[in-house]
Amino acid sequence: MSATTTEEDLALVFKALSNPTRVAILRWLKDPSDFPPQLEPAEDVGVCLKHIQARAGVSQSTASQYMATLQGAGLVASTRVGQWTHYKRREDRIQELAKNIMGEL
């Protein structure tokens, strides 16, 4: 396992991915153009939480909790734009995790 991916890190990732809606959100964020247009390009700042919430069909607080869990696992990063929070995948981290899973588990 690399120095940056510990057993605790992997446990957080697996916990984050234990919820089907969080897995779906991570998949959706792979192609931000599938979300409605927004003022700031999603490729730059990520997808606004309100769009993630609407697509998932959950409350704002549930969507926020889901994104906090994904962020805590290092799978997404957030950017504040005014009063809104935008999220995008951390492709570098996802690739690192994939290599660790293939090589160590």
* Within a domain: 2: no
Q: Is the pTM of this model over 0.75?
A: yes
Instruction: Give me the chain's average pLDDT, please.
Output: 91
* Within a domain: 1: no
* Within a domain: 12: yes
* Within a domain: 63: yes
* Within a domain: 75: yes
Domain count, the chain: 1
Alpha helices (H) along the chain: 7-16, 20-28, 42-45, 49-56, 60-72, 91-104
The CATH number of the domain holding residue 53 is: 1.10.10.10
Domain containing 51: what range? 7-104
> Could you read off the pLDDT of 2-49 as tens digits, one per residue?
445 788 889 999 999 999 999 999 999 999 988 988 888 787 889 999
